[in-house]
Amino acid sequence: MDNSKKTPSLAEYRQKVEKAKDFLEKKIKEPPEIILVLGTGLSGVAEEIEAEVVIPYEDIPYFPRSTVESHRGRLVLGKLSKHRVAAFQGRFHYYEGYSTKEVTFPIRVMALFGAKILIISNAAGGLNLSYQPGDLMLIADHINLIPENPLRGPNIEEWGPRFPDLSEAYSKRLRALAQEVSGRHPYLREGVYVAVPGPSLETPAETRYLRSIGADAVGMSTTPEVIVAKHAGLEVLGISVIANVNDPDNFQPILLEDVIANAQRAETRLVELVKKVVARLE
Ligand code: HPA
Protein backbone atom coordinates (compact mmCIF):
# COMPACT_ATOMS: atom_id res chain seq x y z
CA MET A 1 0.00 0.00 0.00
CA ASP A 2 1.17 3.51 -0.73
CA ASN A 3 1.19 5.31 2.60
CA SER A 4 2.69 8.54 1.34
CA LYS A 5 -0.63 10.38 1.36
CA LYS A 6 -1.80 9.03 4.72
CA THR A 7 -2.97 11.73 7.16
CA PRO A 8 -0.41 11.95 9.96
CA SER A 9 -1.28 9.95 13.05
CA LEU A 10 -1.85 11.60 16.39
CA ALA A 11 1.43 10.06 17.61
CA GLU A 12 3.25 11.84 14.77
CA TYR A 13 1.48 15.11 15.55
CA ARG A 14 2.44 14.83 19.20
CA GLN A 15 6.05 14.18 18.28
CA LYS A 16 6.10 17.25 16.05
CA VAL A 17 4.62 19.44 18.78
CA GLU A 18 7.22 18.13 21.24
CA LYS A 19 10.10 18.68 18.80
CA ALA A 20 8.98 22.26 18.18
CA LYS A 21 8.80 22.73 21.93
CA ASP A 22 12.33 21.31 22.42
CA PHE A 23 13.64 23.71 19.77
CA LEU A 24 11.98 26.73 21.39
CA GLU A 25 13.03 25.68 24.88
CA LYS A 26 16.64 26.30 23.89
CA LYS A 27 15.79 29.85 22.76
CA ILE A 28 13.45 30.89 25.55
CA LYS A 29 14.91 32.13 28.83
CA GLU A 30 11.74 31.80 30.88
CA PRO A 31 8.47 30.24 29.75
CA PRO A 32 5.81 32.70 28.53
CA GLU A 33 2.76 33.30 30.71
CA ILE A 34 0.67 34.91 27.99
CA ILE A 35 0.23 33.94 24.35
CA LEU A 36 -0.78 36.62 21.88
CA VAL A 37 -2.18 35.68 18.47
CA LEU A 38 -2.34 38.66 16.17
CA GLY A 39 -4.70 38.67 13.23
CA THR A 40 -4.90 40.45 9.89
CA GLY A 41 -3.53 44.00 10.06
CA LEU A 42 -2.92 43.62 13.80
CA SER A 43 0.63 42.37 14.05
CA GLY A 44 1.82 45.80 15.25
CA VAL A 45 0.79 44.87 18.79
CA ALA A 46 4.04 42.89 18.87
CA GLU A 47 6.04 46.12 18.34
CA GLU A 48 5.14 47.00 21.92
CA ILE A 49 6.94 43.98 23.27
CA GLU A 50 10.44 44.35 24.66
CA ALA A 51 11.58 41.61 22.33
CA GLU A 52 14.28 39.23 23.49
CA VAL A 53 14.05 36.69 20.71
CA VAL A 54 12.37 36.85 17.29
CA ILE A 55 12.01 33.59 15.40
CA PRO A 56 10.67 33.30 11.85
CA TYR A 57 8.18 30.45 11.60
CA GLU A 58 10.30 28.72 8.98
CA ASP A 59 13.05 28.20 11.57
CA ILE A 60 10.75 26.33 13.96
CA PRO A 61 10.62 22.60 13.26
CA TYR A 62 7.28 21.43 11.80
CA PHE A 63 5.72 24.88 12.02
CA PRO A 64 3.27 25.63 9.23
CA ARG A 65 4.07 28.59 6.93
CA SER A 66 1.80 31.59 6.53
CA THR A 67 0.56 31.65 2.95
CA VAL A 68 -1.38 34.90 3.34
CA GLU A 69 0.50 38.04 2.41
CA SER A 70 -1.10 40.17 5.10
CA HIS A 71 0.28 37.84 7.76
CA ARG A 72 3.89 38.01 8.78
CA GLY A 73 4.97 34.70 10.16
CA ARG A 74 7.20 35.17 13.15
CA LEU A 75 7.20 34.51 16.85
CA VAL A 76 8.24 37.36 19.14
CA LEU A 77 9.27 36.44 22.67
CA GLY A 78 9.83 38.99 25.38
CA LYS A 79 8.15 41.19 27.94
CA LEU A 80 5.01 43.28 27.88
CA SER A 81 4.76 45.31 31.10
CA LYS A 82 5.88 42.80 33.72
CA HIS A 83 4.73 39.68 31.91
CA ARG A 84 6.53 37.21 29.72
CA VAL A 85 4.69 36.93 26.43
CA ALA A 86 4.93 34.96 23.21
CA ALA A 87 3.36 36.80 20.29
CA PHE A 88 2.49 35.11 17.04
CA GLN A 89 2.61 37.67 14.23
CA GLY A 90 0.65 35.85 11.61
CA ARG A 91 -1.55 32.82 12.01
CA PHE A 92 -2.79 29.90 9.97
CA HIS A 93 -6.27 29.49 8.59
CA TYR A 94 -8.41 26.56 7.61
CA TYR A 95 -9.03 28.26 4.23
CA GLU A 96 -5.32 28.07 3.41
CA GLY A 97 -5.74 24.32 3.25
CA TYR A 98 -4.40 23.52 6.70
CA SER A 99 -6.17 21.08 8.95
CA THR A 100 -7.36 22.62 12.21
CA LYS A 101 -4.68 20.54 14.00
CA GLU A 102 -2.08 22.40 11.92
CA VAL A 103 -3.84 25.73 12.51
CA THR A 104 -3.62 25.17 16.27
CA PHE A 105 -0.06 23.80 16.33
CA PRO A 106 1.38 27.06 17.80
CA ILE A 107 -1.16 27.07 20.65
CA ARG A 108 -0.40 23.44 21.47
CA VAL A 109 3.33 24.13 21.60
CA MET A 110 2.95 27.19 23.86
CA ALA A 111 0.46 25.40 26.12
CA LEU A 112 3.19 22.84 26.82
CA PHE A 113 5.31 25.69 28.22
CA GLY A 114 2.58 26.24 30.80
CA ALA A 115 1.17 29.51 29.43
CA LYS A 116 -1.95 30.53 31.36
CA ILE A 117 -3.65 33.12 29.16
CA LEU A 118 -4.38 33.41 25.44
CA ILE A 119 -5.14 36.85 24.03
CA ILE A 120 -6.32 36.34 20.48
CA SER A 121 -7.34 38.94 17.92
CA ASN A 122 -8.85 38.90 14.47
CA ALA A 123 -10.29 41.18 11.82
CA ALA A 124 -13.98 40.45 11.41
CA GLY A 125 -17.03 41.58 9.54
CA GLY A 126 -19.68 43.24 11.67
CA LEU A 127 -23.15 41.65 11.47
CA ASN A 128 -24.65 43.73 14.26
CA LEU A 129 -25.78 46.89 12.48
CA SER A 130 -25.06 49.09 15.48
CA TYR A 131 -21.34 48.34 14.96
CA GLN A 132 -19.01 50.60 12.99
CA PRO A 133 -15.76 49.83 11.18
CA GLY A 134 -12.97 50.44 13.66
CA ASP A 135 -14.92 49.19 16.69
CA LEU A 136 -13.41 46.49 18.87
CA MET A 137 -15.59 43.59 19.93
CA LEU A 138 -14.75 41.58 23.01
CA ILE A 139 -15.77 38.06 22.05
CA ALA A 140 -18.33 36.94 24.62
CA ASP A 141 -19.00 33.59 22.95
CA HIS A 142 -18.56 31.85 19.62
CA ILE A 143 -20.35 29.74 17.06
CA ASN A 144 -17.92 27.45 15.28
CA LEU A 145 -18.99 26.68 11.71
CA ILE A 146 -15.54 25.53 10.59
CA PRO A 147 -16.33 21.93 9.71
CA GLU A 148 -13.37 20.33 11.47
CA ASN A 149 -12.90 20.36 15.21
CA PRO A 150 -9.17 20.40 16.12
CA LEU A 151 -9.85 17.84 18.87
CA ARG A 152 -11.43 15.32 16.52
CA GLY A 153 -9.80 11.90 16.77
CA PRO A 154 -8.11 10.18 19.70
CA ASN A 155 -7.60 12.39 22.75
CA ILE A 156 -4.25 12.92 24.45
CA GLU A 157 -5.26 12.87 28.12
CA GLU A 158 -2.11 14.74 29.23
CA TRP A 159 -3.13 17.60 26.94
CA GLY A 160 -6.71 17.90 28.15
CA PRO A 161 -10.09 16.20 28.60
CA ARG A 162 -12.00 14.32 25.90
CA PHE A 163 -15.00 16.64 26.18
CA PRO A 164 -13.74 20.08 27.19
CA ASP A 165 -16.32 22.39 28.71
CA LEU A 166 -16.93 25.59 26.76
CA SER A 167 -19.53 27.16 29.02
CA GLU A 168 -17.17 30.10 29.50
CA ALA A 169 -14.82 29.87 26.53
CA TYR A 170 -14.10 33.61 26.78
CA SER A 171 -13.19 34.66 30.28
CA LYS A 172 -15.72 36.89 32.03
CA ARG A 173 -12.95 38.15 34.28
CA LEU A 174 -10.78 39.27 31.35
CA ARG A 175 -13.72 40.85 29.53
CA ALA A 176 -14.64 42.81 32.65
CA LEU A 177 -11.01 43.90 32.98
CA ALA A 178 -10.93 45.01 29.33
CA GLN A 179 -14.13 47.03 29.85
CA GLU A 180 -12.68 48.60 32.96
CA VAL A 181 -9.31 49.63 31.48
CA SER A 182 -11.00 51.06 28.38
CA GLY A 183 -13.29 53.18 30.55
CA ARG A 184 -16.24 51.35 28.91
CA HIS A 185 -15.57 53.31 25.76
CA PRO A 186 -18.45 53.12 23.21
CA TYR A 187 -16.14 51.64 20.56
CA LEU A 188 -15.67 48.61 22.80
CA ARG A 189 -18.47 46.18 22.00
CA GLU A 190 -19.18 42.73 23.32
CA GLY A 191 -20.73 40.04 21.15
CA VAL A 192 -20.80 36.63 19.54
CA TYR A 193 -18.20 35.69 16.92
CA VAL A 194 -19.08 33.17 14.24
CA ALA A 195 -16.26 31.40 12.39
CA VAL A 196 -16.89 30.35 8.81
CA PRO A 197 -14.49 28.26 6.70
CA GLY A 198 -13.88 30.90 3.98
CA PRO A 199 -12.09 31.95 1.87
CA SER A 200 -15.06 33.30 -0.06
CA LEU A 201 -16.85 36.05 1.80
CA GLU A 202 -20.50 35.75 2.76
CA THR A 203 -23.41 36.30 0.44
CA PRO A 204 -26.23 38.59 1.61
CA ALA A 205 -28.36 35.49 2.33
CA GLU A 206 -25.58 33.92 4.40
CA THR A 207 -25.17 37.20 6.26
CA ARG A 208 -28.88 37.20 7.09
CA TYR A 209 -28.57 33.62 8.28
CA LEU A 210 -25.52 34.33 10.49
CA ARG A 211 -27.35 37.25 12.10
CA SER A 212 -30.40 35.06 12.71
CA ILE A 213 -28.37 32.42 14.55
CA GLY A 214 -27.12 35.05 16.98
CA ALA A 215 -23.77 36.23 15.66
CA ASP A 216 -22.54 39.83 15.94
CA ALA A 217 -19.36 39.41 13.88
CA VAL A 218 -18.06 36.94 11.32
CA GLY A 219 -14.54 35.82 10.52
CA MET A 220 -12.46 32.90 9.30
CA SER A 221 -10.26 32.15 12.30
CA THR A 222 -9.96 32.04 16.09
CA THR A 223 -12.41 29.28 17.07
CA PRO A 224 -9.94 26.41 16.44
CA GLU A 225 -7.26 28.13 18.54
CA VAL A 226 -9.74 28.88 21.33
CA ILE A 227 -11.00 25.28 21.41
CA VAL A 228 -7.43 24.02 21.80
CA ALA A 229 -6.61 26.69 24.39
CA LYS A 230 -9.63 25.67 26.47
CA HIS A 231 -8.71 22.00 26.08
CA ALA A 232 -5.30 22.92 27.49
CA GLY A 233 -6.87 24.85 30.39
CA LEU A 234 -6.00 28.42 29.32
CA GLU A 235 -8.05 31.50 30.07
CA VAL A 236 -8.99 33.33 26.85
CA LEU A 237 -9.52 36.95 25.89
CA GLY A 238 -10.74 37.24 22.29
CA ILE A 239 -10.95 40.57 20.49
CA SER A 240 -12.38 41.17 17.02
CA VAL A 241 -11.50 44.32 15.16
CA ILE A 242 -14.58 45.22 13.15
CA ALA A 243 -13.13 45.89 9.70
CA ASN A 244 -16.41 46.23 7.78
CA VAL A 245 -20.10 45.98 8.53
CA ASN A 246 -22.31 43.79 6.35
CA ASP A 247 -25.94 44.82 5.99
CA PRO A 248 -27.83 42.05 4.14
CA ASP A 249 -30.36 44.60 2.84
CA ASN A 250 -27.73 46.98 1.52
CA PHE A 251 -24.81 44.71 0.83
CA GLN A 252 -21.58 46.31 -0.30
CA PRO A 253 -18.61 44.48 -1.81
CA ILE A 254 -16.06 43.51 0.86
CA LEU A 255 -12.59 44.38 -0.40
CA LEU A 256 -9.51 42.88 1.22
CA GLU A 257 -7.68 46.23 0.93
CA ASP A 258 -10.48 47.88 2.94
CA VAL A 259 -10.48 45.08 5.52
CA ILE A 260 -6.73 45.44 6.05
CA ALA A 261 -6.78 49.25 6.02
CA ASN A 262 -9.65 49.40 8.54
CA ALA A 263 -8.04 46.78 10.77
CA GLN A 264 -4.79 48.74 10.71
CA ARG A 265 -6.64 51.95 11.59
CA ALA A 266 -8.16 50.24 14.63
CA GLU A 267 -4.85 48.69 15.59
CA THR A 268 -3.86 51.60 17.85
CA ARG A 269 -6.99 50.93 19.90
CA LEU A 270 -6.19 47.26 20.10
CA VAL A 271 -2.58 47.95 21.12
CA GLU A 272 -3.75 50.29 23.91
CA LEU A 273 -6.34 47.83 25.14
CA VAL A 274 -4.02 44.82 25.15
CA LYS A 275 -1.25 46.80 26.86
CA LYS A 276 -3.58 48.04 29.58
CA VAL A 277 -5.13 44.61 30.17
CA VAL A 278 -1.73 42.90 30.42
CA ALA A 279 -0.43 45.62 32.77
CA ARG A 280 -3.33 44.93 35.13
CA LEU A 281 -2.87 41.15 35.25
CA GLU A 282 -1.41 39.66 38.43
N1 HPA B 1 -16.50 38.18 6.55
C2 HPA B 1 -15.65 37.20 6.91
N3 HPA B 1 -14.44 37.43 7.35
C4 HPA B 1 -14.05 38.71 7.47
C5 HPA B 1 -14.88 39.78 7.09
C6 HPA B 1 -16.19 39.48 6.61
O7 HPA B 1 -16.98 40.38 6.28
N8 HPA B 1 -14.19 40.92 7.32
C9 HPA B 1 -12.99 40.55 7.82
N10 HPA B 1 -12.88 39.22 7.90
Convert 220-238 to b/e letters by CB count within 10 Å (16 or more is b): bbbbbbbbbbbbbebbbbb
Q: Is the CB of 124 under 6 A from ligand 1?
A: yes
254 lines ligand 1 (CB under 6 A): yes
Q: Ligand 1: which of 68, 240, 254, 264 to mutate, most ligand atoms within 8 Å of CB?
A: 254
CA 184 to chain centre: 23
Span from the CA of 103 to the centroid of ligand 1 (angstroms): 18
| Ligand 1: residue whose CA is nearest its atom 8 | 125
Q: Is 62 exposed, middle or buried (0-12, 13-18, 19+ CB in 10 A)?
A: middle
CA of 112 to the centre of ligand 1 (A): 31
Is residue 229 within 8 A of residue 111, CB to CB? The reply is yes
In ligand 1, the atom with minimum distance to the C-alpha of 263 is: 9
Identify the bridge partners of residue 143 per DSSP, sorted by sequence position: 194
CATH, range 10-280: 3.40.50.1580
Q: What is the DSSP code string of 16-54?
A: HHHHHHHHHHHH-SS--SEEEEE-TT-GGGGGGSEEEEE
246 lines ligand 1 (CB under 6 A): yes
pLDDT along the chain (282 residues), means of 10: 62 94 91 90 81 92 75 85 92 93 96 95 96 95 98 95 97 97 89 97 97 98 98 97 93 87 86 92 89
**Residues 102-133: tens digit of each pLDDT:** 999 999 999 999 999 999 999 999 999 999 99
Q: Residue 4 contacts by C-beta under 8 Å, 6 or more apart in sequence? A: none
pTM for the predicted model, two decimal places: 0.94
